[in-house]
Structure 1
């Protein structure tokens, strides 16, 4: 009798161990458990940790609650300004209602992927090329709203959408490169013109200052000569001041206007006639060249010739 009782207890214990082994489940921290009892949703979502189900009757489905990173394949489309482009993106989403993600949609990942591709093509057709290249934040927000609206009913929340790359045709790339080069050249010319304007104003102020003090012009000339001579060139060309030319011109005019000196010859006696009178011939006037004067200044040609010879 005791042996029979022990056998029954052992059998019941073995059956209990088999039942526990069949009913025991472990839900990880990043997962949630959804129980379907005979095909119907049973109870609340199971929290992470150890849980029990009814074997054969219940079936536990684990839903991942982590953020999923899903790349969107490159989509080719025509922008609003008739430019063909290829755009790819990436979507970050997560499940917020495990029961809805399991029951309301067959495969929520595939559904989000198809919705992202459709929304991306729609955004390409509604945007200009400049918006795709420079105003991506606004396009990312629009994509996020377009994908998140239907995904909320599936128990999925879209955290972020980013456009990764925009591929352009080679002809469009060359056109944009020429446009950028022309714009940079325009800005460079404007900067050079502004610099010339400022320099001309400074030079005009310097010219007015030198006009008031002519000695400043001579000092500037000497500084220029010193700067040129420091380079040890074989030929040194010196600019001649205008004042020197005027001085030479005034000297030539005074030489031409000087009157010619005339000298009278002494009287010559002739033999007397019957009345013993002496007749004196009128003095003959002759032109006598003035004594040679020393050169006032050297000519410009001599100065240039001497400078060239040195």
Structure 2
């Protein structure tokens, strides 16, 4: 920040050069003309600028001091001074969609928005012909150059870092114009349709692979839980019978007309074994 202020002050000092004798002669003649035509000359001598404006005065083609006038009233010489009003409010513009080729040879279309303001009116008039057009063209070039050094993945995931870096570069480049670039934001990144379909197919295949892995892990966990449950039921035959009764209760709550209930083979063999033994006696 200190270096920036030094740079601005240095630029201002270059405008404060001594004036020659011709200036004082013309100034005296202008004052005589103002006095003769008073009070009609007041309409030409008094200028007003609003709070968000500053006036850069050129007297005989030279800047009157390095500091712009305003806001409020100020006095000029009608035959000697030329006034340029500069708006200090924040200005925004859209960068049109730019066709860029990323570092991994992928074509993409990117657009952005830039917010800037003029902080030194004198430099913005003297140092550059059209500060708005120059800032606009510089933003376009900076956007293309910066995205050309990034891969597609970096552009899609690191938008905030790219915007901040672009804002820093623009602010440094426009410093000598008296311009402060405040915000740069990338609005949209558009890809060719073929690349979009390829990326969608890749993402879909990746999701399907993850789903299969999750399903297999679920089957493993279920089989492990069933094995533990079977070992518990094997240790307590009464628990197995209670499980059968709970299953019957669950099925009956569904209003089914037919209920198929499995019986253990050991129980069937025991029943048939007892029947066969009674007949032999």
Query: What is the TM-score normalised by the length of structure 1?
Result: 0.74
Per-residue Cα deviation, 1:95-144 (whole angstroms, up to 9, x for no partner): 11111100000000000000000011112211111122121011101211
Match runs of 1:1-310 below 5 Å: 15-43=37-65, 44-247=67-270, 250=273, 294=279
**C-alpha deviation, 1:149, in angstroms:** 1.9
**C-alpha deviation, 1:247, in angstroms:** 2.0
Q: Work out the CA distance in 2 between the residues paired with 1:175 and 1:12.
A: 77
Q: Work out the CA distance in 1 between the residues paired with 2:100 and 2:161.
A: 19
Provide the secondary structure at the position in 2 that maps to 1:16. Answer: coil
Q: Work out the CA distance in 2 between the residues paired with 1:244 and 1:13.
A: 129
**C-alpha deviation, 1:37, in angstroms:** 0.5
Any unmatched runs of 5+ in structure 2?
Answer: 1-32
Q: Work out the CA distance in 1 between the residues paired with 2:274 and 2:68.
A: 119
The higher-RCO structure (CA 8 Å, 6+ apart) is: 2
**C-alpha deviation, 1:233, in angstroms:** 3.1
Paired residue total: 248
Q: Work out the CA distance in 1 between the residues paired with 2:238 and 2:263.
A: 15
Residues 135, 174 of structure 2: 8 Å contact kept: yes
Between Structure 1 and Structure 2, the one with more helix by share is 2
Any unmatched runs of 5+ in structure 1?
Answer: 1-10, 256-292, 297-310
**C-alpha deviation, 1:52, in angstroms:** 0.6
**C-alpha deviation, 1:249, in angstroms:** 6.9
**C-alpha deviation, 1:38, in angstroms:** 0.7
Residues 34, 41 of structure 2: 8 Å contact kept: no
Provide the secondary structure at the position in 2 that maps to 1:21. Answer: helix
Provide the secondary structure at the position in 2 that maps to 1:143. Answer: helix
Query: In structure 2, do the counterparts of structure 1 residues 232 and 147 end up closer, same or farther at CA, with 3 Å as the change threshold?
Result: same
Provide the secondary structure at the position in 1 that maps to 2:40. Answer: helix
Q: Work out the CA distance in 1 between the residues paired with 2:149 and 2:96.
A: 19
Per-residue Cα deviation, 1:206-230 (whole angstroms, up to 9, x for no partner): 2121111111111111222332233
**Partner residue, 1:268:** none
Provide the secondary structure at the position in 2 that maps to 1:126. Answer: coil
- Which stretch shifts more, 25-34 or 196-205? 196-205
Q: Which has the larger radius of gyration?
A: 1
Residues 164, 184 of structure 2: 8 Å contact kept: yes
Per-residue Cα deviation, 1:139-182 (whole angstroms, up to 9, x for no partner): 10121122222200111010010010111111111122222222
Alignment root-mean-square deviation, CA: 2.4
